[in-house]
């Protein structure tokens, strides 16, 4: 269980193109999804927290007009990199989590397999 699907897995496009990345929770409803960026041999850097039905919360230094996030349903969040430039080339990873229905304690994040974005 707890499968998160991310699509596409690899994108190569020209500078100035907008790219949309989808993140789906396949077998559970995700109240919250997270978008991360990872550079080679570095850790995951949180870009934004996406909550279903409300605006995303962006981390400091992340341009919300550049990285548009939409979380229209409990199983789908999208990240659109608008007017992408070579410096936007990176590995983008989403994750999803849900609250435990009973008991206490939080749930781990379940990650997609990432999207390698290369802007020429």
Q: Which residues of the shown chain bind another protein in the complex (CB under 8 A)?
A: 4, 6, 31-32, 34, 41-44, 46, 49, 51, 57, 91, 93, 95, 97-99, 105-114, 116
Closest CB to another protein among residues 20, 116: 116
CA distance 50 to 19: 18
Contact 13, 120 (CB under 8 A): yes
Closest CB 30 distance from another protein, rounded Å: 9
Rounded to an integer, what is the distance from CA 97 to the centroid of its chain?
12
Closest approach of another protein to the CB of residue 37, in Å: 12
| Shorter beta-carbon distance to another protein: residue 24 or 97 | 97
- Looking at the Cβ atoms of 78 and 95, the one nearer to another protein is 95
Cα 8 to Cα 93: distance, rounded to the nearest angstrom = 11
Q: Which residues contact 1 (CB under 8 A, 6 or more apart)?
A: 27, 28
């Amino acid at each position: 269980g707890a499968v998160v699907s991310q699509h596409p897995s690899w994108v190569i496009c020209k500078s100035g193109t907008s790219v949309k990345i989808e993140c789906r929770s396949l077998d559970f409803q995700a109240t919250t999804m997270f978008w991360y960026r990872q550079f080679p041999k570095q850790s995951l850097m949180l870009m934004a927290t996406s909550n279903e039905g409300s605006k995303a919360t962006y981390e400091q230094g992340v341009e919300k007009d550049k990285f548009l996030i939409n979380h229209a349903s409990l199983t789908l969040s999208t990240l659109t990199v608008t007017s992408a430039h070579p410096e936007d080339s990176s590995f983008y990873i989403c994750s999803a989590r849900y609250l435990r229905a009973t008991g206490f304690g939080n749930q781990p994040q379940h990650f997609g397999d990432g999207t390698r974005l290369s802007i020429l």
